[in-house]
A and B are shown apart, each in its own frame.
Chain A
Amino acid sequence: MADELYLENIDEFVTDQNRVVTYKWLSYTLGVHVNQAKQMLYDYVERKRKENSGAQLHVTYLVAGNLLQNGYVCHKVAVVREDKLEAMKSKLSTLASVHVYSIQKALLKDSSPLYSTDYDIVKSNLQHCSKFSAIHCAAAVPRTPPDAPRAPAQSQRGPDAASVVNGHGPPAARPPPQQQRGIMGMFAAKAAAKPQDTPKETKAEAKEAPGVSATSSKPSIKNSIMNNFFGKAAMNKLKANSVPEQLKEEKEVAKPSVAVAEPESSPNSVAEKPGKKAESARIQQKDKRSKTKRTDRSDDEEERDPENVKKKRKRIKQLQSDSSDEEDIPPSPTREEERAPSPPLVPALKTELEPASTEGSAAGRKRKRKRVLKSKMFIDEEEGCMVTEKVYESESCTDSEDEFPKPKAPAPNKQPVLPAKREPKEERKNLKKGAAPVNRANKQASIMGFFQKK
């Protein structure tokens, strides 16, 4: 019977998996009310003991009741082992409740495994931690997100998202929900981006751009606050996802070439796109923030980006090898958009971006990235000291085209195209203050580098 299924489940958890099965853990795992979980545990214990009195089962109980202590009648709630159950019950003047707390195979020395089991299961179910409890509070409702500017932007983007396409839709819609949902948003957004990628049409990205620019400052602010609470890895992703917004705000108008690129990129797996977008976004992000966030972020990104970029690049080059010259032509701003929304468009395009932005340097980096262990020195204003860090940094080596130190299969056919691209790119590469370390590509480090603000 379906009812008996839980017995088998508990049996499996306790004997096979050798877990400590607390009522709370069982309640979340089986999705039942806590009281039912307690009763299930009791039932299991009874039956198991009846069939096999030598069964190796240790049970802990929860006992609660009145106890006279220090002159006050206090309400005592205690978790006790089975052998101490009767002793505790007799100490209490009035018994308020007793039920099974947990079942496990081994005898527990102390209650810390109980605590850690409960802690883990609650932590993984934080969003609905009162779902199976016996008390329901009507007043406990989450606040609605207060950002007003985001609301109009979102509604504006709503209809866009439906008809969207060239990637502006998905990334545009993605960041605001992400900001609000924090870390969960990142995963949801990637999933959401997939279905949204499919419709393709040339869109007036301009429509979305203002909406995005209005909110982009908010996401970045929220980002920095949220960043403090999520790990660096998550922070990277969050930031990366917010970059497409920022990029958009910098760029200008829709490009026809985007539409051209779109159909070509459609054969690319959709799954790659969100990842690619994030990657390329991340790289941009890295440049932008390299001043403020120096450390392991660069390591993470370096490892991921080159691989993906290489993979994507390979595909794109094949598709667009004959239009390589065109790629230089479209205004650089458009590159960003194309890139962000359609990862296949690649880093090559992306890099051309804004002369004004650090993208140039990012671009250069992306084109030919090589991981080099470098010492980065900068002055940390807030702490008033000079810090030297050795980090793996991707450095563009424009003078050595044939060097692709990465072992991944970088498309060899990319290389002939790259030199051509690199020239215009290099011209546009600006020595932006924030991207100073990257701009050092192939320049001999001068002594003045020691005093530059990086």
Chain B
Amino acid sequence: MFSEQAAPTAQGLLAPPSAEPPTFPRVPVSGYSDCSQPFQLGERSFSRQYAHIYAVRLAGMRPGLERCARKQWGNDIALRKLSELQAGEKCCVVGTLFKAMQLQPSILQEISEEHNLVPQPPLPKYIQPSDELMLEDELQRIKLEGAIDVQKLVTGTIVAVYGSEQDDGRFLVEDHCFADLPPPLPWNGPSSDRFVLLASGLGLGSVSGEALLSTQLLVDVVTGQLGAEGEQSCAAHITRVILAGNLLSQNTQSRDTINKAKYLTKKTQAASVEAVKMLDEILLQLCTSVPVDVMPGEFDPTNYTLPQQPLHRCMLPLASTYTTLHLVTNPYQANLDGVRFLGTSGQNISDIFKYSSMDDYLEILEWTLRAGHISPTAPDTLGCYPFYKSDPFILTECPHVYFCGNAPHFQSKLLQGKEGQRVLLVTVPDFSATQTACLINLRDLTCQPITFSGFGADSED
């Protein structure tokens, strides 16, 4: 994208100074609307039980699943609730999956004295061959076996299974289906090249400074300071920058001060204070040149449960004076120039990674889209607000760009749906580790990674 257009004037700046260097105006945002209202929480009360969220999830997704079931297995199949099951009868049941995992960390077990358990260290994956799947609906639950991949699926997914109940009380599954891609949105994309830069995991405040030069190079490319004229004019087509979480590094999360004596730690400052100041300066440089959407992530100073609320603007005094700074929720949904974006900072995908046999972030991302829910493992293993009226993580419309942040590598795929949906799936890599960000071209839904590097003592690739 960039390179082809910029190539002609690549070496233009290897020359004596010319008279008037051109200044390119930033392509203005023609249509922006923030659609993340469902993720914004006002007054929060945690006095409800989490059972309600499962109830509304099932109620919300049942109609869609019944439709899919009929489409797949015929219009005349019997749709039964678990309480109406008869042994041997082939029918379809819609319910929530529950996976019983032996290794799943359980706080009750940890504090139970009779087990005398040492707290389990965090594992990369908690799956085991002995895991079992159960289907629950509003009233009952039943164990599943048969043509269903126990290792791959996770708790909280709404699924429709087709099979029959056995004599031993288990349900023998012959086939199953998910909600599949949600209905498509009309396409109003721009006709000329417009780019959106997606980056995540800036990791400020970390002990090592390798990524700092790369972060500075990223800011310089976007603000048009770096590069020859061709590249700068292409950079002027970047209409937005979305920072998808983990702006602060995990190092800023150290809680040593809790264990030390008060008199030792009285005057120490949290590591995140310095990191937020650095973030403010970087955001100021970006905001003076391009609209920026800042999503919080796992290590950022905001609430822990999903949906994470926007960072407070008092933390960013320099940058928040600009109207181009938008502090948004995680997950984030918005219409940019007619293209619908939906994405998270990656906690949902990494949580599914831990409890499923799927290894590829892109595969998991696609799977959540097909399952019709952004984060099925919430609230079981991922913190979530106790919704009771409706579950905002259910996908009701198919976005055009679906991304997740803080992935180990960059991957992207253009998915075509049966009903004409076109979705660009992007796993945004962790910038502090890979020094890579993503450039999405809104005109044709293509994505290109952009990598930055300096030079080190150990010369390079």
Residues of A near any B CB (own CB < 8 A): 3, 6, 23-24, 27, 33-36, 38-40, 42-43, 46, 60, 62, 64-67, 69-70, 72-81, 84, 94-100, 108-112, 114-115, 118-119, 122-123, 126, 128-130, 132-143, 182, 225-226, 229, 295, 383, 385, 387
Q: Given the complex of chains A and B, what is the CA–CA distance between A139 and B291 in angstroms?
A: 8
Q: How far is the CB of A127 from chain B (nearest CB, A)?
A: 9
Whether, in the assembled complex, B285 has its beta carbon less than 8 Å from a beta carbon of chain A, the answer is yes
Evaluate contact between A72 and B217: CB separation under 8 angstroms: no
Evaluate contact between B454 and A78: CB separation under 8 angstroms: yes
Chain B: which residue is nearest A75 at the CB level? B450
Evaluate contact between B13 and A38: CB separation under 8 angstroms: yes
Evaluate contact between A75 and B451: CB separation under 8 angstroms: yes
Evaluate contact between B14 and A98: CB separation under 8 angstroms: yes
Whether, in the assembled complex, B329 has its beta carbon less than 8 Å from a beta carbon of chain A, the answer is no
Interface bits B438-461 vs A (CB < 8 Å: 1, else 0): 010000000011111111110110
Evaluate contact between B322 and A143: CB separation under 8 angstroms: yes
Evaluate contact between B451 and A111: CB separation under 8 angstroms: no
- Given A97-B231, A110-B457, A112-B213 in contact, is the A137-B21 Cβ separation under 8 Å? no
Residues 1-42 of B contacting A (Cβ, < 8 Å): 1-4, 6-7, 9-18, 21-26, 28-29
Residues 412-456 of B contacting A (Cβ, < 8 Å): 412, 436, 439, 448-456
Q: Given the complex of chains A and B, what is the CA–CA distance between A435 and B285 in angstroms?
A: 44
- Given A99-B13, A115-B213 in contact, is the A136-B285 Cβ separation under 8 Å? no
Evaluate contact between B3 and A75: CB separation under 8 angstroms: yes
Partner of A111, one of B29, B224, B455: B455
Q: Given the complex of chains A and B, what is the CA–CA distance between A23 and B217 in angstroms?
A: 13
Chain A positions within 8 Å of B4 at CB level: 94
Evaluate contact between A226 and B317: CB separation under 8 angstroms: yes
- Given A111-B454, A114-B454 in contact, is the A134-B26 Cβ separation under 8 Å? no
Evaluate contact between A140 and B287: CB separation under 8 angstroms: yes
Chain A positions within 8 Å of B217 at CB level: 77, 79
Evaluate contact between B454 and A97: CB separation under 8 angstroms: no
Chain A positions within 8 Å of B228 at CB level: 96-99
Evaluate contact between A43 and B16: CB separation under 8 angstroms: yes
Scoring A69, A78, A134 by chain B CB atoms within 10 A of each residue's CB, the highest score goes to A134
Evaluate contact between B14 and A65: CB separation under 8 angstroms: no
Evaluate contact between A134 and B21: CB separation under 8 angstroms: yes
- Given A72-B410, A77-B451, A135-B23 in contact, is the A115-B212 Cβ separation under 8 Å? yes
Whether, in the assembled complex, B258 has its beta carbon less than 8 Å from a beta carbon of chain A, the answer is no
Evaluate contact between B454 and A110: CB separation under 8 angstroms: yes
Chain A positions within 8 Å of B456 at CB level: 110-111
Q: How far is the CB of A232 from chain B (nearest CB, A)?
A: 11
Interface bits B383-426 vs A (CB < 8 Å: 1, else 0): 00000000000000000000000000110100000000000000
Whether, in the assembled complex, B323 has its beta carbon less than 8 Å from a beta carbon of chain A, the answer is yes
Whether, in the assembled complex, B321 has its beta carbon less than 8 Å from a beta carbon of chain A, the answer is yes
Evaluate contact between A139 and B26: CB separation under 8 angstroms: yes
Q: Given the complex of chains A and B, what is the CA–CA distance between A115 and B10 in angstroms?
A: 24
Evaluate contact between B227 and A96: CB separation under 8 angstroms: yes
The list of the 10 closest CB pairs from A to B, nearest first, reads: A135-B224, A111-B454, A97-B228, A99-B13, A35-B21, A137-B26, A96-B6, A130-B288, A134-B224, A74-B449
- Given A33-B21, A98-B228 in contact, is the A137-B10 Cβ separation under 8 Å? no
Interface bits B254-287 vs A (CB < 8 Å: 1, else 0): 0000000010001100000000010001001101
Partner of A96, one of B230, B322, B324, B453: B230
Chain B: which residue is nearest A230 at the CB level? B317
Chain A: which residue is nearest B456 at the CB level? A110
Chain B: which residue is nearest A226 at the CB level? B317
Chain A positions within 8 Å of B7 at CB level: 65, 94-96
Chain A: which residue is nearest B450 at the CB level? A75
Q: Given the complex of chains A and B, what is the CA–CA distance between A225 and B313 in angstroms?
A: 11
Whether, in the assembled complex, B345 has its beta carbon less than 8 Å from a beta carbon of chain A, the answer is no
Chain B positions within 8 Å of A385 at CB level: 262
Scoring B17, B23, B450 by chain A CB atoms within 10 A of each residue's CB, the highest score goes to B17
Evaluate contact between B227 and A42: CB separation under 8 angstroms: no
Scoring A33, A97, A100 by chain B CB atoms within 10 A of each residue's CB, the highest score goes to A97
Q: How far is the CB of A407 from chain B (nearest CB, A)?
A: 30
Whether, in the assembled complex, B104 has its beta carbon less than 8 Å from a beta carbon of chain A, the answer is no
Q: Given the complex of chains A and B, what is the CA–CA distance between A81 and B15 in angstroms?
A: 19
- Given A39-B17, A143-B322, A383-B262 in contact, is the A130-B230 Cβ separation under 8 Å? no
Evaluate contact between A3 and B10: CB separation under 8 angstroms: no
Q: Given the complex of chains A and B, what is the CA–CA distance between A287 and B289 in angstroms?
A: 44
Chain B: which residue is nearest A34 at the CB level? B225
Partner of B29, one of A34, A119, A123, A139: A139
Q: Given the complex of chains A and B, what is the CA–CA distance between A139 and B7 in angstroms?
A: 29
Chain A positions within 8 Å of B322 at CB level: 140-143
Chain A positions within 8 Å of B78 at CB level: none
Evaluate contact between A36 and B21: CB separation under 8 angstroms: yes
Q: Given the complex of chains A and B, what is the CA–CA distance between A132 and B225 in angstroms?
A: 8
Q: Given the complex of chains A and B, what is the CA–CA distance between A78 and B214 in angstroms?
A: 9
Partner of B324, one of A72, A73, A139: A139
Chain B: which residue is nearest A77 at the CB level? B452
Q: Given the complex of chains A and B, what is the CA–CA distance between A118 and B281 in angstroms?
A: 13
Q: How far is the CB of A129 from chain B (nearest CB, A)?
A: 5
Q: Given the complex of chains A and B, what is the CA–CA distance between A141 and B289 in angstroms?
A: 10
Residues 212-265 of B contacting A (Cβ, < 8 Å): 212-213, 216-217, 220-221, 223-232, 235-236, 262
Chain B: which residue is nearest A139 at the CB level? B324
Partner of B236, one of A65, A112, A135: A135
- Given A79-B455, A135-B25, A138-B26 in contact, is the A39-B13 Cβ separation under 8 Å? yes
Whether, in the assembled complex, B53 has its beta carbon less than 8 Å from a beta carbon of chain A, the answer is no
Evaluate contact between A74 and B436: CB separation under 8 angstroms: yes
Chain A positions within 8 Å of B17 at CB level: 3, 6, 36, 39-40, 43
Q: Given the complex of chains A and B, what is the CA–CA distance between A169 and B320 in angstroms?
A: 31
Q: Given the complex of chains A and B, what is the CA–CA distance between A244 and B123 in angstroms?
A: 59
Q: Given the complex of chains A and B, what is the CA–CA distance between A138 and B320 in angstroms?
A: 17
- Given A42-B13, A118-B216, A141-B323 in contact, is the A134-B22 Cβ separation under 8 Å? yes
